[in-house]
Amino acid sequence: DGGITQSPKYLFRKEGQNVTLSCEQNLNHDAMYWYRQDPGQGLRLIYYSQIVNDFQKGDIAEGYSVSREKKESFPLTVTSAQKNPTAFYLCASSVTGHTGELFFGEGSRLTVL
Amino acid sequence: SQKIEQNSEALNIQEGKTATLTCNYTNYSPAYLQWYRQDPGRGPVFLLLIRENEKEKRKERLKVTFDTTLKQSLFHITASQPADSATYLCAPQGGANNLFFGTGTRLTVIP
């Protein structure tokens, strides 16, 4: 079945460690996104990519990095520079950017110990 | 700066009634607005998109309105069912390549 797969579902990290969250889609979508969700706040855009080998910062990119070497893959690295990394991270993709429907993965919950 | 407000954090209604959720936005004029459903611990699922030149849009038991004068969108679920219980997110266009997501309204349909 077509869709977006995020892994891992749950992740624990010690302070000072980098961690990479995986996002893979087989929908043949050009655009991919990473959002962060915190209790009491709406989803906030971290990074987005509209085409392979190109990506742009969203509203809260500091402390995060991404790559887009393949159309189907858009991994997110949470670096030690991110001051408050504990959150629920959501990856999404779409055909036509934000003017169309976003397809979300099931999310990855990162907890920093 | 832009602000998105969804009427309440939680809404409880009786099964069979119509649920009405409100999304207000300030300080800008989005060209379109989307609504999503999110279940606990899951990713959001797209429900409807409405454009600024559309007053109303329907999909099965769902209806969305978009009032650009009031800067408000209303989301209605008719003949509500316990399976409709979830958090509903409003997401107006935020710019060329972004959506602004509201904090959501958690709907509980009581049998």
Each residue's pLDDT tens digit, A5-54:
999 999 999 988 999 999 999 999 999 999 999 988 889 999 999 999 99
Identify the DSSP state of B17: S
The confidence score (pLDDT) of residue A8 equals 96
Three-state SS for A29?
coil
The confidence score (pLDDT) of residue B85 equals 98
The confidence score (pLDDT) of residue A96 equals 72
Distance from CA of A78 to the nearest CA of B (A): 19
What pLDDT digit, counting tens, does each position of B37-94 carry? 999 999 999 999 999 999 899 999 999 999 999 999 999 999 999 999 999 999 998 7
pLDDT of residue B7 exceeding 90 = no
Would the CB atoms of A98 and B45 count as touching at under 8 Å? no
The confidence score (pLDDT) of residue A1 equals 66
From residue B97, give the alpha-carbon distance in Å to each of A16, A83, B76, B82.
32, 26, 27, 35
Query: What is chain A's mean pLDDT, rounded?
Result: 93
Distance from CA of B5 to the nearest CA of A (A): 10
User: Which residue of A98, A108, A110 to mutate against B (max B Cβ within 10 Å)?
Assistant: A98
The confidence score (pLDDT) of residue A98 equals 64
Q: How many CA atoms lie within 13 A of A25 on its CB side?
A: 26
Would the CB atoms of A42 and B103 count as touching at under 8 Å? yes
Pairing of strands B10-14, B105-110: parallel
What pLDDT digit, counting tens, does each position of A77-110 carry? 999 889 899 999 999 999 876 677 899 999 999 9
Torsion angles phi and psi, residue A6, rounded to 5: -110, 140
A positions 18-77 inside 8 Å of B (CB): 35, 40-45, 48, 50, 56, 58-59
**Separation of alpha carbons A49 and A70, rounded Å:** 11
A102 touches chain B (CB under 8 A): yes
Would the CB atoms of A105 and B44 count as touching at under 8 Å? no
Would the CB atoms of B32 and A99 count as touching at under 8 Å? yes
Compute the average pLDDT of residues B6-18. Answer: 91
Query: What is chain B's mean pLDDT, rounded?
Result: 92
**Nearest neighbour of A43 by CB, restricted to B32, B42, B101:** B101
Percent of chain B residues past pLDDT 90, beyond the cut: 73
pLDDT of residue B96 exceeding 70 = no
- Give me the DSSP letters along A37-89: E-TTS--EEEEEEEETTEEEE-TT-TTEEE--SBTTB--EEE-TT-S---EEE
Compute the average pLDDT of residues B9-32. Answer: 92
**Separation of alpha carbons B26 and B1, rounded Å:** 8
Distance from CA of B8 to the nearest CA of A (A): 12
